[in-house]
Amino acid sequence: MNNLLLKSYLRCKRKAWLDLWGEKSLKTWSAQQSIHLITEFSNFNEFTKGDLFNGRKACEKGVKGVIGIKIIDKVKNNLKIELNPSLLIRTNGDSIWGKYKYLPAVSKLGHRTTREHQLDLALCSIFIERFQKAKVEYGLVISKQNYKLYTEKIFISKKLRDKAINLFFELNESLKYKIPNITENRKKCSICSWKQFCDKEATSNGFLTDIDGIGRKTAQSLKNIGIHNVKQLAASDKTKLKSKLSINDENDFKKINQIINQSKSYLSGLPIYLKSHNDLLDLFKKLNQGFYVFDIESNPDEDHDFLYGLLSVENVYDQNNNFFYKPILNLINKNKYNLEILKQLILRNNWPILHFGETEKITMIKMAKIINLNKFDIDSLESRFIDLHLLIRNSWILPIKNYSLKTVANWVGFDWSQKNISGSKALYWWIQYRNTNENSFLEKIINYNKDDCLATLEIIKWHLDNAQKFL
C-alpha cells in the first residue's frame, strides 16, 4: 500500500485495483506518463539549481532537493504504508539532521492544481514529519509555463490530513474486493495505461459511455429510465424517450435523436449521411483547383508551435499520390511564430486550406494579425480554411466511438506508418529532442505530422466518394 496507489485511486478506483492486481502485460506505455516523468525531473532539477540527489544519505547531507526516497511506516490498525514522495525540499527548521528540515513537493503539467496533488502532499507530509521529527506546514506544487518556473504553496491543514488518511483506508478496503467497474467518466481513460484493457470490456458490455455524445450525466439519466446499454438505446423511440426524459428544449431533443442514430450506426457498422447535394457540390468546386492540407504540432505548456506541416494536393484523385509535403520547423520559440508558413499559404492564395480541428485556423489568423496583415487579406485567408472535423461531424454519423483524427482515419482505412502513435507521443518526442538535440526525434515528429496530413487527405477522399454514393 503506497501513495502512488492513492494517486491512481483518486483518478479512478479501478485503476488503483489494476495497478496492484492487474496483469502487467496488458498495461500499455503511456506517453502522458513519460512526459510527466521527464518534465518532473527537469522542473525539480531547475528548482534546486542542480542540487538534487537520491536517497536518505542526501537528507543527512542536507542537499537542497532529495528524490527517490522511500519511507515505510504504519497507520492505524497496523496498516503498513510505503511513501515515495516525488521530491523533498530543504528549508529552515529543526529536524533529526540539524538546523534544517524537508517539505514535500510535486510537479504538475498544465495549469490546474488537482485534489490528487493536494492529497498526495498531505499524505506524504504526515509521514515525513514522523520520519524527520519536524513539522511540515505546507507542500509545494511546481510547474513550468512559457519557460518560467512557478511554485504554489499548499497548506497542510488538519482537514486535508484527515481526508488523506480516510481515503487511504478507503483505498485499502477497495483493494480487498473484486475489480471495480469502469469509470462513468470515460474522458479520464484517454491517458490511462489500462485503456485498451478497459475498452475491450466496455465494448463487449455495450456501455452507453462508448457512444459519442454520452457522458456520465446522460448515461445516468438514461439508466434512470431503464436504458442500460447501446442495444437498448438503439432500439428506443425518440419521441417516447423525449417524454420519459421530460425534454422540452429543442437542442436536447436533437441530441437525443443524435445519440440514438449514433448507437444504431455503432451497432450496424454503417455510416449515416446527413447533408444535402448543394453542400457537396460546393465542396467539390472548392477543392477542384487544388488545396493544402495543414497540420501543426505544438507544446501547449510552452505555447510553442514547433512544426507546421503542409501537404500540397493538386488533384485529390491522383492515383500516383504525387502530393508534395513540406515540413516547416520552428525550433526556437523566440517570436512565437515562423512567417515561412504564412508565405507558403499565400503562395497559392486561391487554394483552400484543409485542416482537422480548429487549432490551425486560430493560429494562422493570430499570426496574420500579429504581423499587421490588412483586414481584407486576413478575411480572405480566413475564408480559405475548411475544418474537416466539423465537416465530418455535420455530414455523417459514423460507427465509431469518437471523431478524433486517429479514430476517423483508422475507420476509413488509413494506417500511420509508425505504430501506437498519438499527439502525446509526438509531444514526448519533442521533449526528448529538446533534452538531447537528437535529430532522430525530429524525424519521427516530421513523419508523424506527414501521416496526419495524409490521414486528413484520406478522410476527405472518403467523404467525397461516399457522400456521392449516398445522394
Which residues of the chain form contacts with ligand SF4 (CB under 6 A)? 12, 14-15, 18, 182-183, 188-189, 192, 194-195, 198
What residues are paired with 302 via a beta bridge?
A: none
- Cβ 124 to ligand SF4 shortest distance, Å: 23
φ, ψ of residue 186 in degrees (nearest 5): -70, -10
Residue 131 sits at the vertex; the CA angle it makes with 127 and 136, to the nearest 5 degrees, is 60
- Cβ 14 to ligand SF4 shortest distance, Å: 4
Is residue 127 within 8 Å of residue 71, measured between CB atoms?
yes
Nearest alpha-carbon partner for 126 in 162, 98, 92, 170 = 162
- Cβ 196 to ligand SF4 shortest distance, Å: 8
Cell of 69: 526516497
Residue 235 sits at the vertex; the CA angle it makes with 229 and 241, to the nearest 5 degrees, is 85
Cell of 143: 510547474
CA distances from 97 to 62, 90, 92, 196 (A): 8, 11, 12, 47
Nearer to ligand SF4, 14 or 90 (CB): 14
CA distances from 124 to 6, 86, 94, 272 (A): 11, 9, 18, 53
Nearest alpha-carbon partner for 266 in 401, 395, 167 = 401
- Cβ 188 to ligand SF4 shortest distance, Å: 4
Nearer to ligand SF4, 207 or 385 (CB): 207
- Cβ 292 to ligand SF4 shortest distance, Å: 37
- Cβ 194 to ligand SF4 shortest distance, Å: 4
Nearer to ligand SF4, 32 or 258 (CB): 32
Q: In what order do the strands lie in the sheet with 138-145?
A: 52-54, 65-67, 87-95, 98-107, 138-145, 148-155
Nearer to ligand SF4, 12 or 119 (CB): 12
DSSP state letters, 189-211: GGG-TTHHHHHHHHHHHT-GGGS
- Cβ 114 to ligand SF4 shortest distance, Å: 14
Nearer to ligand SF4, 120 or 360 (CB): 120
Nearer to ligand SF4, 18 or 69 (CB): 18
Whole-number Å distance between alpha carbons of 12 and 186:
10
Is residue 164 within 8 Å of residue 139, measured between CB atoms?
no
Q: Which residue has the cell 506527414?
A: 450
Nearer to ligand SF4, 14 or 144 (CB): 14
Nearer to ligand SF4, 19 or 452 (CB): 19
Sign of CA dihedral 95, 96, 99, 103: negative
Nearer to ligand SF4, 167 or 245 (CB): 167
Nearer to ligand SF4, 195 or 242 (CB): 195
- Cβ 198 to ligand SF4 shortest distance, Å: 3
- Cβ 209 to ligand SF4 shortest distance, Å: 10
| Intra-chain end-to-end CA distance of the chain, in Å | 60
- Cβ 83 to ligand SF4 shortest distance, Å: 23
